[in-house]
Amino acid sequence: MLRMKSMFEMTNDERKDYFAHQREQVRIAIKRQIELDKSIVTPAFDGTTFFEDYGVCSKTSKVYSRKRGNQWIELTPNVSGNTKYPAVKFSVKGKSYTKEVHRIVAWTLQKGNPLPRPNEISSAAWKKTPKEVKDLIARQLYEVNHIDHVHTNYHISNLEFVTRRQNVQKYHAHRKNA
């Protein structure tokens, strides 16, 4: 087994190479953190609650926390209990929340993208409706559906907002074709 030389055993050229390599590794880590900072959408949102110290990466749809310092730390989703959906735990003011990842991803990353107008409301009436009311209606009316029906695939490209009725229809169509 190879053993790394101690600093005292290295020649000057080996030490220079070693420190140059270490500086390059730090530079790469800082660059990754800066790129991650730019792609995290905050605060995380589940349709009802905003979680200020949490965010979702717009590229990977992974959930991150900034609770321990200034760097983003990826949260690991778990499947437990009688649910089949991966979930993450949030902690806010000493209170713990367990939230399904697909809902956090969909609601956080849909910001700025209007949800579909309910069929029961005319286009003219919908245009006049204040954004806050639209959001309230949307939270009551829409669910998050996995397009490919794989519950562990919570990438934003695999999620869509549907009504309860549409969700049930899509589930039965998938089951029929499976």
pLDDT score at 56: 94
Place of tokens 């993450």: 88
CA dihedral 171, 50, 59, 26 (to 10 degrees): -140
Distance CA 124, CA 104 (A): 31
Give the residue among 75, 153, 160 at the shortest CA–CA distance from 116: 160
Note the pLDDT of residue 174.
87
pLDDT tens digits, residue range 100-135? 999 999 999 986 566 777 778 888 988 888 878 877
Distance CA 74, CA 71 (A): 10
User: pLDDT per residue over 8-45, tens digit each?
Assistant: 788 888 888 888 888 888 887 777 777 777 888 889 98
% pLDDT > 70, the chain: 94
Please report, to the nearest 10 degrees, the dihedral formed by the alpha carbons of residues 126, 134, 165, 87 taken in order. 160
